[in-house]
Amino acid sequence: MKITLHYQLYYYISNLILFAHNILHHPYKLPDLFRRYLDKNDDIHSYNTRLKDSVHLQRPNTEFGKRSLKYKAAEFYNNLPEEIRFDLGDSVRYNK
């Protein structure tokens, strides 16, 4: 039972990360609804900060908002090391 639960959690997180990557780097692969679903920090402001390439993480007002697809996708994507974020271009391995 534990292996199945761990696998489901891994599958959920990896799909959220891939979803965020596709929104930011391949929006033409997605329905119009999701093309502007996430924004990078440099889309929000023009300051040259060290987090300019991270996804803008809006602060939710409720605990329910912290569990939303938009918040979780941005949070998991931002927690990846930069070298992995940009290496997701070979996303074929995740599309199973």
* Alpha-carbon gap, residue 64 to 67, rounded angstroms: 5
Average pLDDT of the residues in 10-39: 89
Q: Which residues are CB-contacts of 15 (< 8 A; sequence separation ≥ 6)? A: 94
Residue 83 lies in a domain: yes
Mean pLDDT of the chain: 82
Residue 76's pLDDT is what?
Answer: 93
Nearest to 74 by CA among 40, 50, 44: 40
Residue 63's domain comprises: 2-89
CB 41 within 8 A of CB 54: yes
Number of domains in the chain: 1
The tens digit of pLDDT for each residue in 48-73 reads: 877 777 888 888 899 998 999 999 99
Confidence of residue 2 (pLDDT cuts 50, 70, 90): low
Half-sphere exposure of 9 (CA within 13 A, CB side): 6
